[in-house]
Amino acid sequence: MKTIGKTKLIVVALFFFFLFNFPFIGLIDTVLIFGHIPFIYIYFYTLSLLLILIIRYIINHDKK
Amino acid sequence: MIHKKILIVDDEKSIVLAIDSILSARGYNTQKAYDGKKGLEIAKEFKPDLILLDVMMPFIDGFEFSSLIRNDKALEDTKIIFITAKGEINDKKDGYSKGGDDYIVKPFSTEKLLSRINFLLDA
Amino acid sequence: MISLWLIIPICIVYLALLFGIAYYGDKRSTKKSLINNHFVYALSLTTYFTAWSFYGNVGKVATSGISFITTYIGPVILAPLWVILFKKIIRVCKREKISSISDFIATRYGKDKFLGNLITIMVFIFIIPYISIQLKAISTSFHILIDSPVQNSVSNKIPLFVAIIMSLFVILFGTRNTRSEQVNEGMVSVIAFEAIFKLIAFIIVGVYVTYFIFNGFGDVFSKATAKDILGPVANIQDSLEGGYWDWFSLIILSFFVFMLLPRQFHLIALENKNEEHVDKASWVFLLYLLAMTLFVVPIAIAGKLYFFDTSFSADSYVLRFPIDRGNNLLATLVFLGGFSAATGMIIVETIAISKMLSDNIFIPFILNHLKTFSTSKIQKVISFCKRISIPIVLLSAYTYTEIIGEGSTLVETGLISFVGIAQLAPSFFGGLFWKKANKTGTISGIIVGFFIWSYTLLFPAFIQSGLIDSLSILSNGPFSISLLKPYALLGLEDLNPISHGFFWSITLNIFFYIIGSVFTIPKGIEIQQANKFIDIKDPNEYRFRNRYQKVYFYQLYELIIKFIGSKNTNMYVDQYDKKYQKKYRNNDILEIHFVDYMENILSDYIGNISARIAISKLLNEEPLSRKELIEILEETKDAITHSKALTVKSDELKRIQKTLLESNEKLKEIDQIKDEFILTISHELRTPITSIRLLSEMLYHEPALYEDQKHVFLKTIIQESERLSDLIDDTLLQEKLELGQLNWEFEDYFVHEIISNAVNAVSPISKDTGIVIRNHFSHNNTLIHADKTHLERVLINIFINAIKFYDPEKDTHKIEISSIIDSHTITICIEDNGIGIAKEDHEKIFNTFVQIQHEKQKNKPKGSGLGLSIAKKIVAHHKGILSVESEINVYTKFLITLPFKN
């Protein structure tokens, strides 16, 4: 088994850290409500689900 | 008479030269290898009836070499004689347990070498 | 409303269920473990979701909007790093036998006792309020459930009952194992069960509120929009005093704290069964996190709409809905969900804190004050300390609830604890990756951080709860110095108190940590520990084996039975046979797979490192280094005494043992060298004799040989005879040198004369092989005091080597002689452009009977393997130094430095 790519994971973490902070969060604040639902809620869930897929991909891919 | 095939594996060039000359002169079909890796390759192709095998060799030593031969179905009937400089094999049983059919201690005479080979190949 | 006499039996049944699960989990641990999978590992880490998440999140959204989510964004960002961080920490903890977060940091910075105590006390101060709010949450929800604002004599004592029952639970299921690497399986099973229970309860109540009381998400949100409630909730900037800066710092805070909370650290590192679980658990945990937060905002908004005309605390909305609708079954479920969230946290946090207290403070204290030292007594004292620290933790939390607990909300208290715990972050994360970080930096950083935390968060909290009566300090600062206002240090206003406190404490903490580490010099043990923590290897890397090494079954077998006995060994060998259909016998050569299998088993008995070293020795992989020896000793020590506290007393024993082992090792080595010498000599002599004999016999008995064949034979015989006589000469010379019996005839000579003599001696050979010798030696008339014969021999030896090891891939082959002179010494440099010597072999070539293998050099005539060893000794006898510089495939340069005569 190969070891899992550390650099990839660190880059992913940094990227998401960035997405969850200013200026992105500031942009979210300009939308506020999207079809009756707070936009930040949608943003948080979409990003988190995306992150799950990315982590799964990296781990499964690197293990082979 | 079918020429019996003998493979000589030793990293000492002079020993290989000597044994090879003796055996060729007696009509054996010989091949030479100066290290274990090459020896294994040749053994698979050449399918010798007997291998003369030095114990102390770099990379793959004689004992490992013999165990690899023993695990090969195609080389089931191949006999192995270890050439040793004493200390590595204590008695015939020990040599046998390490995958050899016989062993011969340096220095040895032409006669001794030939009698051991004849004994194994005639049997 | 539910009758008190109905809810109490329900609670008892639920608690009995928890005890039952724990008991079953412990029983199963010896057979097929319940918890040996990544799901349970992920679930166990959800103790991050306490009663604070269960009740308090909704309250937070209702009162101040979406910012609750920062507490979960930190862990989301951390998730991809689990694989890197957690595995490293798990390995370090296993290897160093870490028992808690304070032990982790103290061990990293030189196993420092003061640091261990400091962190233990700090963590105790941070966490007790946090446990106490869990007790309070249970009691509040209980009172809401039975609808009794009147202090009923039974229900009033609920926190006390919970504290007592939880103490009992932890004593029974949390302290069973004294060795740190074993897992409290029953306890982890319970935590996993509670994780599922609280999630289900929360989702059911979420669905109930959103879809049964309201008409789905859309309905909740559109009604909220109509009433202008949604806007403020959804806006980040408005929901936080300090806007995005607060948002940012709260994310960083939760990012740090997720691993550092004592309970989280305990579950991550110490209750992990297999580090491979981390891979999958990292995203399973994220899924759980998303499920657990999904209904927070809908319930909060629904609560604001539904209870707009009541004065209910927003923290209680989750429970109020089913009660208000008269759905007693659901109300009970929600209560038990919150109860699970609280108790899960209480159990693990208590285990972690009590372990710190007993290991760092109680046990060392009592051992130091104990007059007599009988083993049975010490064991009793230790187990008493371990047990008594559990009720101490819980009763402290209970007392805190009684005295201070009123007034602050769940989230506030939780966040103050968070900022406190975050003070460990610099030393923790720095300790994992920064080797220079040392004890002084850590202690100063932590103390400064703690001080700022107390001043900016704890002190104001006391003022606000009325314990300290000096509200003016908050508004005007102490002595009316406004720069020192606890909520606005140095005029930093506009932040909420949590991020303000976090900013100042962590900034100064990091500053002092770095300054302290850079400007002070660490002790040896700190450096040693730093290396151990930072360079910890992947256990898979240990598995790398040299594939040309062979091991016979009996060798490994004999080794293993020494450690675990023949009965166990046979059992494991049979198990292997059953599992992989391969039965090994005495002289079978082992496959690596089997070696790894046995190493793994061995490591269960004697620890990872010892097992690895034992097996590596068998495989001749690498010699036992001094460092590793010390490590074995430490592990042995650990195994014998089973307790770190006791080993303090065995220092003396340890030192003697170490000396003995070292000298034994040295003797063995000398013995082995002697044996090898004799064996090699006989081997080296026998080989040329054999070929000489066989070839002569051939020439004698076979008159019909061709001329050229005869020629080859005779040439070989001559070569082999030369080799034989060289070998004998060299061996004798070597022996004489060693015994000091060599005759030396020292006289004054010119260096250039000796050099040209040597060059002349080898020039016939060099001409044959086409190698040019260029003599640039320029310091003529330099006199040295030397034995001419021997020194010439050294030079000739080096020339011959250079000729022998020429690089066939190069067009020109040359040897260049040059010289360097300084005030006392002259250095003769002999450089060739041959095949070179690998760096790792530079030292070896001067050892006896070493001939370096080189791929371009396979079929060359062999030397005695003594030449350079002798040369070095001869040069040393001239009070000089023989050394080598070389780069493989480029050049080799021998340097002979000798003192000259003025």
Which chain C residues touch B93 with a CB distance below 8 Å?
A: none
Average pLDDT over residues C98-109: 87
Q: Give me chain B's average pLDDT, please.
A: 84
Query: From the centroid of its chain, how far is CA A15?
Result: 7
* For chain C, percent of residues with pLDDT exceeding 90: 22
Q: Reduced to 3 states, what is the DSSP secondary structure of residue C492?
A: coil
Does C218 contact A38 at a Cβ distance shorter than 8 Å?
no
In this prediction, residue C430 carries a pLDDT of 92
Compare all CA atoms of chain C with the CA of B11 and give the residue at the minimum distance. Answer: C859
Q: Could you report the per-residue pLDDT of C9-42, keeping only the tens digit for each?
A: 898 899 999 999 988 888 877 667 777 788 899 9
Residue C696, CB-side half-sphere exposure with 13 Å CA sphere: 13
Residues 6+ apart with CB under 8 A from C472: none
Query: Is B14 close to C720, i.e. CB distance below 8 A?
Result: yes
Encoded tokens for C421 = 């715990």
* Closest Cα in chain C, distance from residue A46 (Å): 10
Q: What is the reported pLDDT for C643?
A: 44
**Comparing C180 with A20, which gets the higher pLDDT?**
A20
**Residue B4, helix vs strand vs coil:** coil
User: Parallel, antiparallel, or unpaired for β A37-38 and A33-34?
Assistant: antiparallel
Please answer yes or no on whether C548 and B59 come within 8 Å at the CB atom: yes
Q: Is-contact C331 C319, C-beta < 8 A?
A: yes
Q: Do C80 and A20 touch (CB under 8 A)?
A: no
Task: For residue C486, give the amino acid letter.
Answer: P
pLDDT tens sequence across C325-370: 888 899 999 999 999 999 999 999 999 999 888 888 887 777 667 6
Q: Test C251 with A32 for CB contact under 8 angstroms.
A: no
Domains of chain B: 5-122 (3.40.50.2300)
Q: Do chains A and B touch (3 or more CB pairs under 8 A)?
A: no
Please tell me the predicted confidence (pLDDT) of residue C78: 93
Higher per-residue pLDDT: C680 or C177: C680
pLDDT at position C256 is 92
The token duo for C499 is 């991020």
Q: Is pLDDT above 60 for C476?
A: yes
Strand residue runs (E) in C713-833: 746-750, 771-775, 783-787, 813-821, 825-832
Residue with tokens 């259909």: C581
Q: What is the pLDDT of residue C237?
A: 76
CB atoms A48 and C289 under 8 Å: yes
B88-122: pLDDT as tens digits: 666 666 777 777 888 888 888 888 888 888 888 87
Q: Which sequence spans correspond to the domains of chain A?
A: 6-63
| pLDDT band at C630; cut points 50, 70, 90 | low
Q: Which residues of A are less than 8 Å from C61 in CB distance?
A: none
CB contacts, 8 Å: C700 with chain B:
none
Option in B11, B17, B85 nearest C686 (CB): B85
For C686, the closest of B21, B106, B113 (CB atoms) is B106
Residue from A22, A55, A62 to probe the interface with C (highest C Cβ count within 10 Å)? A55
In C773-830, alpha helices (H)? 788-804
CA of C689, closest CA in chain B: separation in Å? 6
Got the DSSP string for C260-294? HSHHHHIIIIIS-S-TTHHHHHHHHHHHHHHHHHT
Residue C706, exposed/middle/buried by CB under 10 A (0-12, 13-18, 19+)?
exposed
> For position C260, what pLDDT does the model report?
93
CA dist C268 and C87 (Å) reads 9
The residue of chain C with its CA nearest to that of B85 is C683
| Peptide linkage before C149 cis (omega within 30 of 0) | no
Which residues, 6+ apart, have CB-to-CB distance to C733 below 8 Å?
C742, C866, C870
- Give the span between the Cα atoms of C529 and C524, in whole angstroms: 9
DSSP C620-666: T-SPPPHHHHHHHHHHHHHHHHS-HHHHGGGHHHHHHHHHHHHHHHH
B50-54 and B5-9 beta bridge pairing: parallel
Closest CA in chain A for residue C234 = A38
Query: Minimal Cα distance from A47: which residue of C?
Result: C76
Q: How far apart are CA B70 and CA B80, in angstroms?
A: 10
CB pairs under 8 A between B and C: 87
Residue in C169, C184, C198 with CA at minimum distance from that of residue C43: C198
- The tokens for A57 are 């991909």
Chain C residues closer than 8 Å to A28 by CB: 236
Say yes or no: C247 contacts chain A, CB-CB below 8 A: yes
**Is pLDDT of C548 > 60?**
no
What are the strands, taking DSSP E only, across chain B?
5-9, 29-33, 50-54, 79-84, 102-105
Q: Under an 8 A CB cutoff, do A36 and C218 touch?
A: yes
Domain at C743-899: CATH code: 3.30.565.10
The CATH number of the domain covering residues in C647-739: 1.10.287.130
Task: Note the pLDDT of residue C284.
Answer: 93
Residue of C nearest to A13 (CA): C77
Check CB contact of C229 with chain A, cutoff 8 Å. Answer: no
**How do residues C716-740 score in pLDDT, each as one tens digit?**
888 888 888 888 888 888 778 877 7
**Which residues in chain C are closer than 8 Å to B17, comparing Cβ atoms?**
691, 695, 712-713, 716
Largest CA distance in chain A: 48
Question: Which value, to the nearest 10 degrees, does the dihedral of the CA atoms of residues C524, C526, C530, C532 take?
Answer: 70
Q: CB contact, 8 Å: C236 with chain A?
A: yes
User: How many other C-beta atoms lie within 10 A of the C-beta of residue C508?
Assistant: 17
pLDDT at C372: 57
Name the residue with higher pLDDT: C178 or A62.
A62
Nearest by CB to residue C286, choosing from A25, A33, A48, is A48
Cα–Cα distance, A48 to C82 (Å, whole number) = 15
pLDDT at C6 over 70: yes
pLDDT digits (tens, 9 = 90+) for C635-683: 554 554 444 444 455 566 677 777 778 877 777 776 776 666 666 677 7
Interface test with B, best of C676, C687, C702, C717 (most B CBs within 10 A): C687
**Distance between CA atoms of residues C473 and C460, nearest Å:** 9
A37, β-bridge pairs: A34
Using CA coordinates, name the residue in chain C closest to B56. Answer: C683
Kindly give, in sequence order, each residue whose CB lies less than 8 Å from that of residue B39, ignoring residues fewer than 6 positions away. B7, B9, B33, B51, B53, B60, B65
| Cα dihedral across residues C697, C701, C706, C711: positive or negative | positive
Mean pLDDT of C72-92: 91
Chain A within 8 Å of C73 (Cβ-Cβ)? yes
The pLDDT of residue C230 is above 70: yes
CA C872 to chain centre: 43
Listed residue (C595, C193, C138) closest to C338, CA to CA: C138
Residue C411 CA to residue B23 CA, distance in Å, equals 92
Gap between the Cα atoms of C450 and C43, Å rounded: 32
Single-letter code of the amino acid located at C525: I
pLDDT the model gives residue B103:
85
State which residue of chain A sits closest to C219, comparing Cα positions: A36
The verdict on C679 touching B (C-beta cutoff 8 Å) is yes
What angle in degrees, to the nearest 10, is found between the helix axes of C113-146 and C375-403?
50
- Residue C292: per-residue pLDDT: 93
Lookup: tokens for C151: 């202090």
pLDDT of residue C616: 67
Cα–Cα distance for residue pair B55/B84, rounded to 1 Å = 6
ipTM > 0.90 (yes/no)? yes
What's the mean pLDDT in C732-757?
84
Q: Are C145 and C318 in contact (CB under 8 A)?
A: no
- Give the whole-angstrom CA distance, residue C122 versus residue C452: 13
Q: Å from C849 to nearest chain B CA?
A: 14
In chain C, what residues touch B19 (CB-CB under 8 Å)?
694
Distance CA C39, CA C44 (A): 8
Q: Minimal Cα distance from A37: which residue of C?
A: C221
- Domain residue spans of chain C: 4-407, 541-622, 647-739, 743-899
Q: What's the pLDDT score for residue C154? A: 65
pLDDT in the model for residue C290: 93
The structure tokens 């709010």 sit at C133
Average of per-residue pLDDT across C232-260: 85
Is C202 within 8 Å of C337 (Cβ atoms)? yes
Subunits adjacent to chain B (3 or more Cβ pairs under 8 Å): C
**Res. C409 pLDDT band, cuts 50 70 90:** low
Half-sphere exposure of C71 toward its Cβ, with a 13 Å CA cutoff? 24
Sign of CA dihedral C714, C720, C722, C728: negative
Cα end-to-end distance, chain C, whole Å: 110
Q: B97: buried, middle or exposed (CB in 10 Å: 19+, 13-18, 0-12)?
A: middle
* Percentage with pLDDT > 70 across chain C: 84
- Average pLDDT of chain C is 81
How is residue C589 annotated by DSSP? B
Of the candidates C589, C697, C716, the beta carbon closest to that of B14 is on: C716
CB neighbour list of residue C866: distance below 8 Å, 6 or more residues apart: C727, C730, C731, C733, C734, C848, C849
Q: Length of chain B, please?
A: 123
Of C860 and C62, more confident: C62
Q: How far is CA C286 from the centre of its chain?
A: 25
Asked if residues C34 and C25 have their Cβ atoms less than 8 Å apart, the reply is: yes
Q: Which DSSP string corresponds to C543-574?
A: T---TT---BHHHHHHHHHHHHHHHHHHHHHH
User: Residue C508's closest CA among C574, C436, C447, C462?
Assistant: C447
> For C4-407, which CATH superfamily applies?
Sodium/glucose cotransporter (1.20.1730.10)
Residues 100-159 of C with CB under 8 A from B: none
pLDDT confidence band for C511 (50 / 70 / 90) = very high
Inter-chain touch C689–B86, beta carbons under 8 Å? no
- Of C873, C894, C883, the C-alpha closest to C787 is C873
CB contact under 8 A, C712 and B17: yes
